[in-house]
Structure 1
């Protein structure tokens, strides 16, 4: 991972923080953003954004691990509860991938790590990229 530029969304705690630490220990340049960070590393993934400060032109990997989980009994879950979870867990990843697409294309080694559903497919140019088991090569 030495010299590779990796973007982590949700890198302030839990899995994201541990991934950031491991990548840094292995020589990667880590660019972590989170809604709980302050300053330039703050990112509210539920809103559209036009910039992520301090990013290099080429990104070699993208880790998406912010998350919400609503532990209410199903009977008490509202449509708004589901919308918020979808906004963070799904649409936030799509927003970020749209933003990073050109930076990821500049790299010959492109990896995506995300907890998105295994059958989710993205169209990338004319190729379909199917996501399986969390680690994916974006061609």
Structure 2
């Protein structure tokens, strides 16, 4: 039985994947598939830098995977990110951030002045409609 939540999440994702471990390792950039075996058995920590690629290849939630690993491997960092930045974002917040990033590809949108007031009014209307 795995005691590492991160290893368990990875192991379940690998077992659910139609890809072989060799194919997963190749796509993620690991030189040998036995690295995956060590990660999913909890013998080696999942490198945080590999979480985005693993999540994409295994089709799992990148945010949940990263949060799981941070909480397990670096609880003090997880606590600071949660306290200071309010992370992780909930799905609605993620959607708003994604929409803003798409709209602001050229970096010219600033949330100030009339736009800020309009957004505040829009959110107030949304809150009233939800009540």
Task: Name the TM-score, length of structure 2 as normaliser.
Answer: 0.29
Bigger fraction of residues in helix? 2
Q: Which has the larger radius of gyration?
A: 2
Structure richer in strand, relative to its length: 1
